[in-house]
Amino acid sequence: MEQKKSLNLIVPALILFTLVFVYYFPRFLIDSLGEANPWTSYLYLYGFGGYFFMIGLLLITKTGSCKFGRGRDTKWFTILCSGFIALMTLHAVWIHLALSIPVKSGVN
Residue-range definition of the domain harbouring residue 9: 2-100
Residue 64 counted as domain residue? yes
pLDDT tens for 54-67 read: 999 988 888 888 88
> In whole angstroms, what is the distance from residue 53 CA to residue 46 CA?
9
Task: Please give the pLDDT value at position 62.
Answer: 85
Q: What distance in Å separates the CA atoms of residue 68 and residue 75, rounded to the nearest whole number?
A: 9
What pLDDT digit, counting tens, does each position of 11-37 carry?
Answer: 788 899 999 999 999 999 999 999 999
CB 69 within 8 A of CB 17: no
Q: What is the pTM of this model?
A: 0.77
Q: Could you tell me if residue 107 is inside a domain? A: no
Backbone torsions φ then ψ of 36, nearest 5 degrees = -85, -10
Number of domains in the chain: 1
Question: Quick check: is 105 in a domain?
Answer: no
